[in-house]
Structure formats: C-alpha cells, structure tokens
C-alpha cells in the first residue's frame, strides 16, 4: 500500500473511486472516442490539481481512482 502524503503536522490519504456510466450503458466508449476521452479526463485532472492513480476505460463505463489534497472541497 502507498505511504500517506504528509506535511510537518499531518498525514493524509484521500482517494475517491469514481465510476462514469453513459446513458443506457451504451457500448460507445471504444475506438476514437476512447482515445479522446482519456485525454480529456487527464487534462481535467491536471486543471483541478488531482492525480489519477488508476483508470480503466471499459466498453460501457469508466473506473478511476483519484487522489486529492484534503484541503480541497468536494463539490457536487
């Protein structure tokens, strides 16, 4: 298991398991859309200063394990 992140006064390990499912679970996430979707997700994570630890793009859904800093608020 990974070591938790740390500062001089605290340690943390904040991870979220995110699943994205398209409407009606259509099997449309392969082919050219697969490459494009992977790029878009990586760019979004970069912009929001998140790290994608793991990601799996299936034919009808996406699984991601994302690490964030504990000081970042969770917005819905």
First to last CA, the chain: 29
In a domain? residue 1: no
What three-state secondary structure class fits 6?
Answer: strand
Q: What whole-number distance in Å separates Cα of residue 33 and Cα of residue 70?
A: 32
Residue 18 lies in a domain: yes
Q: Is residue 76 part of a domain?
A: no
- Host domain of residue 33: 12-68
Residue 76: what pLDDT? 54
CATH number at residue 61: 3.30.70.1290
Distance (Å) of CA 17 to CA 7, 13, 32, 68, 72: 24, 13, 25, 11, 16
- Each residue of 11-57: pLDDT tens digit? 778 889 999 887 776 677 666 777 788 889 999 999 988 899 999 88
Q: Tell if the pTM clears 0.85, that is, is over it.
A: no
The residue behind tokens 């200063």 is 49
Q: Is residue 72 very low, low, confident or very high in pLDDT (cuts 50, 70, 90)? A: low
Query: Residue 2 domain-assigned?
Result: no
Domain count, the chain: 1
């Amino acid at each position: 298991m990974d070591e938790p992140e740390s500062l001089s006064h605290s340690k943390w390990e904040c991870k979220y398991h995110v699943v994205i499912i398209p409407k009606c679970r259509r099997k449309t996430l392969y082919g050219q859309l697969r490459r494009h979707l992977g790029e878009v997700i990586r760019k979004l994570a970069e912009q929001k200063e998140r790290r994608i630890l793991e990601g799996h793009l299936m034919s009808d859904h996406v699984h991601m394990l994302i690490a964030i800093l504990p000081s970042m608020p969770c917005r819905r």
